[in-house]
Amino acid sequence: MTDTSTRQARIAWFERICGDLHERFVPLTDGEPASYIPELATVDPDRFAIAAVTTDGERVGVGDHDHAFTIQSISKLLLYGLALETHGRDHVLERVGVAPTGDSFNAIALDDDRNRAPNPMVNAGAIAITDLVVGATLDDRVEAVRSMYERYLGHRPEVDREVWTSERATGNRNRAIAYLMLSRGIIDDRVEQTLDLYFAQCSVLITADDLATIGATIANHGVHPVTGERVVRRDVTRDMLTVALTCGMYDYAGEWAYTVGIPAKSGVGGGIVGMIPGAGAIAVYSPRLDAFGNSVRGLRVFEELSDEFEMHVFDPDSPWRGTD
């Protein structure tokens, strides 16, 4: 077989694996869609997709892989990268640390010793990161965020206006976090504008295919797997992957690192993206969530894939080593 036919055979084989996993976990109906954001409570709970993109642009998609959903907290990882590129690591670390907390993602808690948010993957840290988005007006800052998404996706994403409105109307806990940080000098005084931007960044519509492309770009050290264009600096992706591994799965992050062992980020919209540096990314979408806010089916898919294919970054026999 030629190299091309061998690669195509491997992709077809992995697509069959994903198809089998999809079929196996379709009957799993544990969990419910997020209800604290009213618009998210109305989504079809039985949507289910698995998608993958390799660092050389090969794609796999099964189930509802082209169905649009809101990115929610997965946006935190991308905004963190934007902040690092715009302001530099030292400035960002003055506002947001990198330590896992063990607390829920919406905990009203700060790093009192350093007077900063604990990490960029919890809401406090994410709001502090969003505050760093440059722009004179809300529209300017929304466009800056959409332009960032466009570099990852290859197209300009839409914002789900209904979800954005719903998050504005119910986001009082995030307001409490933001005003606490204002009182401590962690964020600037345009609090309501920054919160509006935060709600907007979480309401961006993507598909599982999009999410796998985003993850593959980060796994490819910032180079888009299809276009070959640099989306984010190489050194920045190292920091993004590190916080994804240690903090990306809410207060389940420690368990995830132990059992699955790849950098990942989840969102309460039902998405999870897992990144294998130098190899590619896998995305799962299923809106039924567990008590931590992670997709129930998503967790099972990643657990199975990690175990079957030795994806854990510390597995001494991992076949993914040396693919960088």
- Per-residue pLDDT tens for 173-224? 999 999 999 999 999 999 999 999 999 999 999 999 999 999 999 999 999 9
pTM of the model: 0.95
CATH class of 3-72+205-309: alpha beta
DSSP assignment of 146-173: HHHHHHHHSSPPPB-HHHHHHHHHH-HH
pLDDT averaged over the chain?
A: 94
Average pLDDT over residues 59-86: 98
pLDDT at 4 over 70: yes
What per-residue string of b and e applies to 98-109 under the rule 16 or more CB within 10 Å gives b? bebbeeebbbee
- Alpha carbon dihedral 79, 80, 86, 92, in 10-degree steps, equals 140
Is the pLDDT at 324 greater than 50? The verdict is no
Least confident of 131-140, 290-299, 315-324: 315-324
Interacting residues of 179 by C-beta distance below 8 A, sequence separation 6+ = 191
Is residue 2 pLDDT above 70, yes or no? no
The CATH number of 75-202 is 3.40.710.10
d(CA 265, CA 250): 8
Q: Which residues are identified as catalytic?
A: 73, 76, 198, 250, 268
Do residues 121 and 76 make contact, with C-beta atoms less than 8 angstroms apart?
A: yes
Closest CA to 186 of 95, 62, 320: 95
pLDDT for res 321: 54
- How do residues 21-63 score in pLDDT, each as one tens digit? 999 999 999 999 999 999 999 999 999 999 999 999 999 999 9
Residues of the chain with CATH 3.40.710.10: 3-72+205-309, 75-202
Give the residue among 243, 12, 8, 242 at the shortest CA–CA distance from 122.
Answer: 243
Which of 228, 206, 252 minimizes the C-alpha distance to 78? 206
> What percent of the chain is modeled with pLDDT above 90?
88
Tell me if 67 sits within 8 A of 259, measured CB to CB. no
